[in-house]
Chain A
Amino acid sequence: AQSVTQPDIHITVSEGASLELRCNYSYGATPYLFWYVQSPGQGLQLLLKYFSGDTLVQGIKGFEAEFKRSQSSFNLRKPSVHWSDAAEYFCAVAERSSYKLIFGSGTRLLVRP
């Protein structure tokens, strides 16, 4: 069955430290890949997306993600976390022939001062 896995429910980092959030997918072919962020009480905002080409993609707010086909992964990274990055982060995939956007269960990021 097709699935998206975010193995970390919570992650806590200190402000200024680097961040990596993990995402693995299980699909027959390379899907479209996305990261969304949800601030408390808000809807979701698209951070970045991967369709094809360069496997390292840049997004908004200083985030980047790397697609690794051999590992079926699309991990989100940021070199230096700010307190305002505290939020919930969702990895999502879409089959190239489908309308359906499938979300992972999310990772909640806490930032220590």
Chain B
Amino acid sequence: NAGVTQTPKFQVLKTGQSMTLQCAQDMNHEYMSWYRQDPGMGLRLIHYSVGAGITDQGEVPNGYNVSRSTTEDFPLRLLSAAPSQTSVYFCASSINRASHYEQYFGPGTRLTVT
């Protein structure tokens, strides 16, 4: 198993550009989530999904969209990038709703918005 994979590893955007961060897992996990990590702030939940077709907002959802058309994939879309979205983004998954906290993390995407 590859586990949780994220692409790209690094990305630089100009303000106002849009892009999609990709996340995939091959463990047949029901629960997937996106976090952003900023210095001194730990990880903050952006969006999460408890299964294909079901998504919900986390702590900091503004400026981000998600969809979950398959169990494997959970892309994160930045609609109009802003410098405040400069961060490291982590995707995570877990087996199911009952064990959402036992999460497997991807390696992260470092995003810079200029």
Contact = CB atoms under 8 A, between A and B. Distances in A.
B102 A45 contact: no
B106 to A, nearest CB: 5
B102 A46 contact: yes
A70 interface: no
B97 interface: yes
A100 B44 contact: no
Interface residues of B, number: 26
Contacts of A90: 42-43
Given A49-B102, A100-B59, A101-B103, A43 B42 contact: no
User: What interface size band does chain A fall in?
Assistant: 20 to 34
B50 interface: yes
A89 to B, nearest CB: 11
A99 B50 contact: yes
Interface in B17-60: 31, 33, 35, 40-45, 48, 50, 56, 58-59
A49 B101 contact: yes
Main secondary structure of the interface of A (DSSP, over half): strand
Interface string A8-50: 0100000000000000000000001010000001111110010
Pairs A-B, 10 closest by C-beta atoms: A43-B105, A103-B42, A103-B43, A44-B105, A94-B101, A105-B42, A99-B100, A43-B107, A101-B101, A104-B42
Interface of B: 4, 31, 33, 35, 40-45, 48, 50, 56, 58-59, 90, 92, 97, 100-103, 105-108
